[in-house]
Amino acid sequence: MSHFTFQGRRAVVHACAAPLLFAFAVPLAQAATIRGTLRDPLGRGVPGTVALMQEGQEVTSASTDPDGTYVLSAKGRSGRFSVRATAAGFAMQSSAPLFASSEGAVEQNIFLRIQPRREDVTVTATGLPTPLEQTSVAVTLIPREELATRFGISDELRLQPGVSVVQSGGYGGITSLFVRGGDSTANLVMIDGVPANDVGGRFDFSNVSSTAVSGLESQRGPNSVLYGTDALAGTIRFDTPRGSSRPVFTYSGDAGNFHTWRNEAEISGAHRRLDGYAGVSRFDSSNALPGDRFHLTTVAANVGVQLATDLSLRGTVRSGVSATGVPGAWDFYGLASQAKQADQDLYLSGVLEGTLHGNLHQTARYLGARKREQYFEYGAVGTPVTAFGFTSYYGNVVTIRGANGTVATGQAEFFTGQNDRSDSVSDRDGVQYNADYRLTPHLAALAGFRFLQERGSYRSSFSTQDAERRDYQYTLQLQGDVLGRIFYSLGGALQHNTLYGTEGTPRLGIAGYAIRPGQGWLHGTRLHFNFSKGVQEPSLAAGLGSLYTTLAQAGNTAAIAQYHVDPIGALRNRTYEGGLEQSIYGQRLMLRANYFHNQFGRQVEYVGAADLQQYFGIPLSALVPGSYGAYTNSLDYRAQGVESALEYSPMHHLMFRGGYTYLDAKVERSFSGDVTAVLGGFPNTNPNYPDIPIGSSSPLIGARPFRRAPHTGFAVAEYASAKWTAGLKAAFSSRSDDSTFLSYASIAGDNSLLLPNRNLAYGFVRLDADATWQVRPQFALFSQMNNLLGQQRMGPIGYPALPFNFRVGVKVRLSRD
């Protein structure tokens, strides 16, 4: 989660960027002064008491005015401070660290909570730091403490409504996120404000360590207004931590079964105008299958300097280097492939941030990403069979069982090549500028510009493909409230992409309180509605293999004109959502429910050459000789449903929360070969199930998209005290549609290993537990236990999950205090 403040008459945003040069005026004062207002979650002033803290010691204190405003003097001191606030009926709240000196005044507003709760201010949803009570979109905040014993972040992402995590195997297996029925490529991931996806949206969460993650923000729904292309179904954001006011060094080491071990070291601190953080970790595991060893090294740093009271410069870097074996779909072969995948990911950002005259806040950011992936096949495995001069390799005789009760027995073909290699590259450089201005106490405006240059390439033994894209985005958004009871945001963006041209993305959100929040029963009823549109750029493969590009490569410009073939366009989503948040008993017992309706249009799919001729009128002679087909924007599907969550805190140290989501997703239009075969009377079928049409590589019209379970949910119980913390966390999923993808891939040369799609993938319950014992302030013991029920069918069919696994370790914390 981003580090931010909400300052006086202006909102301060950390995820922004800008022209390279702009001026800031710094007002001069004779003494350092910190001022602001205590506010309740709806933004109303609250009278109370404030104290100025430095190095854990109180410097001075004061009572606020009746409207909650306060002024504190630093009494000639300078450096890092925080403001501690208390008010009747609210929990004590401390501000984030801030820098103050005799150069000028610093403004710091503090939002109080009715009872102790997690930090619940979001910047992802609106671009301005905003309490969740004032937002109209669905956002989940995952604090850093939830990641304390985790290796990565994907398992915590499971524990929120509307989200499904699909992992292919053990540690290092491709891990994808499906949000409200959207595709796994439809989510934008932001690391320190830098778009981290591959060109076209793909992101593998298995390569993200929990090291140097200050917390997670997850928004469900499009947010292309603020973040542009790829924010089609959801947005995940996290930042690198900042240095604290005291030098702190922490070390964590642990080990577990499956030859698993991890070491992590972090150091942070601040001195006068400088603050810094650095973290490094190494994780290794053999996993449970042969040839599936995985390791990940993560290095991250965040360094900032306060150039003046209202002007700062900050730079961040995050690097992840990993390598993993790729055993493949073990259940389909009974053998592991001789393959390896290596990834090198680097994310860079530089931010200049400041304020002009107290209410115009500006940020200028450099965005940089370098992503490399190499896939190696060392040799063929299995049983060789030679026919017509070609040798193919097959796995062992296995029996494949689907969750829908269907069964197939046979030998599946390995589609591998000896000593084969492929490399892919996704590079990104850009600049972003955002400015927000507090027009009145009840209205703020945000405007921004972003330019991205994207470069991608794919190289294999057979071909080399390169592409370059430029993306320009202009953003304008208004955000405000009416009488502190109705909160709204209205915005829009225009973006121009080299590949898909110009697209507009509007958004409107409204949240209102029928009953204001407070203590007691049923005090707090919030209704909210949101409409938004999102866009996504096609993947590198789709852009290079589109119908337009294929015809152009063949030199057939006449066919492009005759059949009105356009370059491949943006993928689109139109979303309506509305919901209710009801306080049942104060904020100790909360109920949330949302209805969402996504219309995913112009999605990209691969259409065979024969279908291009039959349904698009494109003759085979118009294509590149030997071409099997091309990518087109011809897939449409809808995904609607209801998500709910319940949170209960019977006492200060104990918390229960859970959620359930029902998803109704259906394919409405498609021209893939699987669909057109059904329409043309020659559907894919398994000879053992001759009356059931099967989509071998894509879902049929009227069916669910693959790997989107209609029922998902979670349940969490957590206990936290000064000495002990413990958690029991469960995520469950119903059966989902899928495919074995083994069309004509059996040794018999038929579809006997292709099973019906409906409910083919297994449902599961994943149960994890963690515990930490703070033996002394400087020393702690912890354990993390995953998959307590030992379920191995928790991913795509064919890929067994890692059985019960655990890690036990120590944490050492050294600081000046």
Q: Which of 539, 591, 594 is nearest to 568 (CA)?
A: 539
Q: What is the pLDDT of residue 193?
A: 94
Q: Express as a percent the part of the chain with pLDDT over 70.
A: 94
Question: Average pLDDT, stretch 548-557?
Answer: 88
Q: Say if residues 732 and 764 touch (Cβ distance below 8 Å).
A: yes
pLDDT digits (tens, 9 = 90+) for 208-258: 999 999 999 999 999 888 888 889 999 999 999 999 878 999 999 999 999
Examine the pLDDT at 176 and tell me if it is beyond 60: yes
Lowest mean pLDDT among 70-79, 152-161, 240-249, 549-558: 70-79
Please compute the mean of the pLDDT values over residues 518-525 and round it to a whole number.
83
94-96-99-104 Cα dihedral, nearest 10 degrees:
-70
Q: DSSP state, 405?
A: S
Q: Name residues whose C-beta falls within 8 Å of residue 27's C-beta, 6 or more positions apart in sequence.
A: 104, 105, 357, 358
Task: Please say if the pLDDT value at position 547 is more than 70.
Answer: yes
pLDDT digits (tens, 9 = 90+) for 280-327: 999 999 999 999 999 999 999 999 999 988 899 999 999 999 999 999
pLDDT tens digit string along 498-508? 988 999 999 99
Architecture in CATH of 6-111: Sandwich (2.60)
Q: What is the pLDDT of residue 23?
A: 39
The full set of domain ranges for the chain reads: 6-111, 254-402+412-815
| CATH architecture, domain 254-402+412-815 | Beta Barrel (2.40)
- How distant, in Å, are the alpha carbons of 214, 297, 315, 644 from that of 162? 23, 31, 34, 9
What average pLDDT does the chain have? 89
Asked whether residue 740 carries a pLDDT value surpassing 70, the answer given is yes
Q: For 650-673, how does the pLDDT look when each residue is reduced to its tens digit (9 = 90+)?
A: 988 899 999 999 999 999 999 998
Give mean pLDDT, residues 71-91: 79
User: Is residue 7 over pLDDT 50?
Assistant: no
The predicted structure's pLDDT at residue 118:
52
- 22 pLDDT exceeds 50? no
pLDDT above 90: percentage of residues in the chain? 62
The model's pTM is 0.89
Q: How far apart are CA 444 and CA 587, in angstroms?
A: 28
Q: Is the pLDDT of residue 157 over 90?
A: yes
What CA–CA distances, in Å, run from 460 to 321, 336, 420, 457?
21, 22, 8, 10
Residue 6: pLDDT band with limits 50, 70, 90: very low
- Residues 123, 15: Cα–Cα separation, whole Å: 8
* Mean pLDDT value of segment 559-575: 91
